[in-house]
Amino acid sequence: MSSPKISIDSLCVKELKEKRTTSPHQLPIYATSSFEFENMEQGIDIFTGKTSGHVYSRYGNPTIDTVSQKLADLEAFGTGLNAYGYLTSSGMSAISTVILSLVKSGETILTQGDLYGGTTELLLKVMAHSGIKTIFTDLTALDQVEYLLQTNRNIRLLYLETPANPTMKCIDLSQMARLAKKYGVITCVDNTFCTPIIQQPLALGVDFVIHSTTKYLNGHGNSISGVIIGHDEKYKKQVWTTLKLLGSTCNAWDAWLINNGLKTLALRMKKHSENAMAVATYLSKHPKVINVNYNGLPDHPYHEVASRQMKQFGGMLSFEVDGSLTQVLKMINKMKFCSMAPTLGDVDTLVLHPATSSHLNVDKAQREANGITDGLIRLSVGIEDVDDIIHDLENALK
């Protein structure tokens, strides 16, 4: 049957059938808000869950879903687990979505005091208003962690970063997963610093992994997004429903940019780690540097834990210089090769002063109790020629 004749005005508006004859070599960007049904029955079947299919990009999109699954496959690589992933609009939306999916009002989150400042603020300023309590403790003190899990049965989620941002403290993931399972508590790890190339929390018994994909997974500083990765089917629908209704989903463009970045992830993480080790070694010998937080240094207090659960030591480090706040800021301002930018994980080296930026709104007493002093500087070591990075630090420290 021939198609009905339409006017030229209508021809301008209407989509033609896709003229694709062979498969694209690169993942296409599906820049569409919705998807057409062949008939109403198909739409009903998808909406009721009888069959799977795309209906609306907030619920799922071929570009987003493809990249989500690739990230899940990377986290679960070699484990035999069937992991699933959901891309979100940012790393913070990944954290808030997973918490709101799993924790109810009246329940408690157990976590560490040296989290990324935004996460601490989220817990104290947003989740607290929803009736979700937070206990901060030293997660390296296993007896204390077990005591809290044993005596407070309202604890629903054990949330952690390892290495921590920006102190680089390492937490034993296997031990945390063991204790959490013993007391029926869900575990979630922010694996942004390491990526699955360096560390795979799922392989160590953890339930959920989140990332700010803005950082190393993309690696080029040109998108904002996050991801939630899990493997237990009983939580899958819960997480997806919360994500869908909060509307904190990713978009196809940012998903596509992540996919481009992932192609060089393994190469980049190797170079980031090599450069960071060289920079940390240089800083550890400098007379104006009081302390270097890098788990690759053999005398670092968390070197042994990091060696067990990380394949490399990553590109992140922090160091404390001997001087007042004014002197420290002056020293940072003297850096010309490294960029002053409030992010991490890009291919170029980035410097940040946590006390006046990422952790500005964290209580000063909590900050300093966890080693985030006015003298602490965070460095996201890039993949440039390491001699150029060291030369810039040398000039700044004079």
Residue 386 DSSP one-character state: H
- Cβ contacts of residue 165 below 8 Å, gap of 6+? 114, 115, 116, 192, 193, 316, 358, 378
pLDDT for the residue 294? 98
Only one residue has tokens 């006015």, namely 374
pLDDT for the residue 2? 55
pLDDT for the residue 15? 85
What single string gives the DSSP state of each residue in 37-65? -SSHHHHHHHHHTSS----BTTT--HHHH
- Residue 147 is encoded by which pair of tokens? 């005591």
- Cβ contacts of residue 115 below 8 Å, gap of 6+? 123, 161, 164, 165, 190
**Structural Rg of the chain based on CA atoms:** 23
Q: Strands (DSSP E) along the chain, which ranges?
A: 84-88, 108-112, 133-137, 155-161, 186-190, 208-212, 226-230, 289-293, 316-321, 339-340, 350-352, 376-380
Domains of the chain are 40-262 (3.40.640.10), 265-397 (3.90.1150.10)
Catalytic (active-site) positions: 58, 116, 190, 215
Q: Is 327 exposed, middle or buried (0-12, 13-18, 19+ CB in 10 A)?
A: middle
pLDDT for the residue 3? 60
- Residue 256 is encoded by which pair of tokens? 């596509």
Residue 91 DSSP one-character state: H
CB atoms within 10 A of CB 323: 16
Measured CA to CA in angstroms, residue 354 lies from 114, 116, 180, 332 at distances of: 11, 9, 30, 12
pLDDT for the residue 366? 80
Closest of 299, 309, 282 to residue 395, by C-alpha: 282
pLDDT for the residue 259? 97
Give the three-state DSSP class for 110: strand
- Report the C-alpha dihedral over residues 140, 142, 144, 148, rounded to 10 degrees: 110
Only one residue has tokens 């007042």, namely 324
Residue 125 DSSP one-character state: I
Residues of the chain with pLDDT under 70: 1-3
Contacts 24+ apart (CB under 8 A), 208-211: 208/98, 208/102, 208/235, 209/75, 210/91, 210/94, 210/95, 210/98, 211/71, 211/91, 211/94
Q: How far apart are CA 58 and CA 54, in angstroms?
A: 10
CA angle centred on 66, ends 206 and 68, rounded to 5°: 25
Residue 15 DSSP one-character state: P
Give the three-state DSSP class for 73: helix
Is cis: bond before 163, omega within 30 of 0?
yes
pLDDT for the residue 1? 47
Closest of 86, 90, 57 to residue 231, by C-alpha: 86
What single string gives the DSSP state of each residue in 279-342? HHHHHHT-TTEEEEE-TTSTTSTTHHHHHHH-SS--SEEEEEESS-HHHHHHHHHT-SSSEE-S
Q: How far apart are CA 319 and CA 336, in angstroms?
A: 18
